[in-house]
Structure 1
Amino acid sequence: MTTVDEGYSAKKWLPLEANPDVINQYLWGLGLAPDEVECYDVFGLDDELLEMVPKPVLAVLFLYPITKKCEEERIKQDKEIKDKVHSDKVYFMKQTVDNACGTIGLLHAIGNITSEIKLSEGSFLDRFFKSTANMTPIERARFLENDSQIEDAHSVAVIAGDTTASDEVDTHFICLACVDGELYELDGDRAGPVSHGASSPATLLQDAAKVIKTMIEKNPDSLNFNVIAISKKA
């Protein structure tokens, strides 16, 4: 999902399913080697369940329900973070295509771990990150918006899901990643990256879980949450 703001496009995709198998195939098709990373469901946020997730975890995707309270808080926080300085190593892009948040979340994840992984030369991911390296967040969004290869791949991934996709959804994907010793919330609907304090590659999953728990507590009446870890393969 995306919210209408300045720079919003009329283009609308079907939403990506929060399904690790679907996302794995999607990423591998875009140029991430199958022996590099793999996505896994995180079945709970307690320590014993987090320990079951294959390590090291490179990034975390979180799908949560959009509520009026969430939107009000987002608007308030955006005013606070708009002028905040963050590490120039953070790869961040805006979202201008409705329902593209799953793909944006994956691009945020991969864009912030390129030093940890190998992308197939000439693949979409290789081309995308090389082409957008020096662009602004909104320029990166426009580049994505006008790229038919990623739109087609996204559509294939949607069809591969276990459920029938609807273009009217009330859920949203974000990415949590550790960059330069800080945990960042990366959401194309936000004014910029949101820092959640100190983190490290070793504690990324636990640190992300704390942030996610807080977000879940703000929506006590909803069960529509999914957490997916993107882990480096041994």
Structure 2
Amino acid sequence: MVLDRIGSSVFTELIRAFNVHGTQVEEVWSLDTLEDLKPIYGLIFLFKWQGGNDSSRLHPDADLSIDENVYFAKQVIHNACATQAILSILLNCPMINLGTDLESFKDFTKEFDPDNKGLAMSNSELIRGVHNSFARSDPFMMDSSGSSSSEKEDIFHFISYVPIQGALYELDGLSAGPVNLGPCTEDNWLEKVRPVIEERMARYTSSEIRFNLLALIKNRDEVYRTRIQEIEGRLHHANDTNNSLELMQLRDEREDLLRQIEFERIKFKRYERENSLRKHNFIPFIYNMIRILAERGELQARIEYARKETTKRIRERRRE
């Protein structure tokens, strides 16, 4: 899983493709900002994979028993750790409306063991179709070893953190089981998960800084509109009591929320475009462009120009 392939836009569109509504994914730039994103249903942590560092080995003393309240599936799909990571949260959050298709899949497979849950995911037409729609060049294929297809390419892995029935779980499809990290509540689970993520980061050398943390949260548009409705009620009361200061503060907050709603609309439009471009196959276009330049006798000159420009930029960067 290459680092720059998966971000909040892809995860958000993945959720929509599963017909799950009322949620979205946001990138977390700092652990200090988690409180600003509440309610958070779960976190997804992306890190560089190193052989043998699955969750069960990193937490040798943790409880790996299969709790009936935890939906845990083994990863049997070679390059679908991102898809499995988001499913690990969706299928373990009763507050989320999964929609008919995903709810039916969960009900059908809930009594399966982790291996058969993983196999069911690989054979689900819904999950297979959604995964493949975001994997232009990567086939949806089985791989029992969990290894990469290329030793030279950096491999990145996704795991999930979810509060389930009063306990914090680390869900890693390559692990021997769901890792119970101890008791938590809906109010303090973010405090509990923070040192766990920090410890994950600390295991790497100072030269490895490629991490990414994403949060599955309630749809911001819904959150903002609900708050606007609350403000409208308070505005009526403030107007009746002629409280000018409160009126001004509430109106300012309402305007700010309306701007945030517009920002979300623009952001989702950008997501649609990004994912459209991401899934589009540009190889035929590039091939034909190179072929036409060659037929015109212009290709070699373009190559020389590009080489000179590249050398020039390298020199300029060295001088900075």
TM-score exceeds 0.5: yes
| Corresponding residue number in structure 1 for 2:278 | none
Q: Does 2:209 correspond to 1:223?
A: yes
| Corresponding residue number in structure 1 for 2:274 | none
Q: Which amino acid aligns with 1:129?
A: K
TM-score between the two structures when normalised by the length of structure 2? 0.58
Secondary structure of residue in 1 paired with 2:200:
helix
How far did 1:192 drift? 0.4
Higher helix share: 2
Distance in 2, matches of 1:191 and 1:31, equals: 30
Distance in 2, matches of 1:215 and 1:78, equals: 11
How far did 1:99 drift? 1.3
How far did 1:184 drift? 0.4
Q: Does 2:84 correspond to 1:104?
A: yes
Q: Which amino acid aligns with 2:84?
A: I
Q: Which residues in structure 2 correspond to 1:47-66 (within 5 Å)? A: 47=32, 49-52=33-36, 54-66=37-49
Secondary structure of residue in 2 paired with 1:192:
coil
Whether the 8 Å CA contact 1:24–1:39 is kept in 2: the answer is yes
Equivalent residue for 1:151, pick from 112, 128, 144: 128
CA offsets, 1:60-100, max 9 Å, x none? 001111125xx25756457655x743532111010011111
Equivalent residue for 1:116, pick from 71, 76, 95: 95
Q: Which amino acid aligns with 2:160?
A: C
| Corresponding residue number in structure 1 for 2:197 | 212
Q: Does 2:170 correspond to 1:185?
A: yes
Secondary structure of residue in 2 paired with 1:158:
coil
How far did 1:57 drift? 0.5
1:87/1:74 CA distance change after superposition, 3 Å: closer
Q: Which residues in structure 2 correspond to 1:1-234 (within 5 Å)? A: 17-33=5-21, 36-45=22-31, 47=32, 49-52=33-36, 54-68=37-51, 71=52, 76-77=57-58, 84-85=64-65, 87-113=67-93, 115-121=94-100, 123=101, 125-159=102-136, 168=150, 169-220=154-205, 221-233=207-219, 234=223
Distance in 2, matches of 1:30 and 1:191, equals: 27
Distance in 2, matches of 1:181 and 1:172, equals: 26
Whether the 8 Å CA contact 1:16–1:158 is kept in 2: the answer is no
Identity %: 27
Whether the 8 Å CA contact 1:57–1:201 is kept in 2: the answer is no
Distance in 2, matches of 1:108 and 1:15, equals: 20
Whether the 8 Å CA contact 2:54–2:175 is kept in 1: the answer is no
CA offsets, 1:147-183, max 9 Å, x none? 2332221122234xxxxxx964411000000011111
- Bigger Rg, structure 1 or 2: 2
Distance in 1, matches of 2:161 and 2:3, equals: 19
1:72/1:211 CA distance change after superposition, 3 Å: closer
For the aligned residue pairs, the C-alpha RMSD in angstroms reads 2.6
1:67/1:145 CA distance change after superposition, 3 Å: same
1:214/1:143 CA distance change after superposition, 3 Å: same
Larger RCO (CA under 8 A, 6+ residues apart): 1
How far did 1:199 drift? 1.7
**What stretches of structure 1 move > 3 A for 4+ residues in a row?**
14-17, 72-81, 83-87, 166-169
Distance in 2, matches of 1:86 and 1:134, equals: 11
| Corresponding residue number in structure 1 for 2:305 | none
How far did 1:22 drift? 1.3
TM-score between the two structures when normalised by the length of structure 1? 0.78
Distance in 2, matches of 1:73 and 1:26, equals: 24
Whether the 8 Å CA contact 1:17–1:158 is kept in 2: the answer is no
Whether the 8 Å CA contact 1:61–1:176 is kept in 2: the answer is yes
Distance in 1, matches of 2:54 and 2:92, equals: 26
Whether the 8 Å CA contact 1:93–1:141 is kept in 2: the answer is yes
1:91/1:72 CA distance change after superposition, 3 Å: closer
Distance in 1, matches of 2:25 and 2:66, equals: 27
Equivalent residues, number: 206
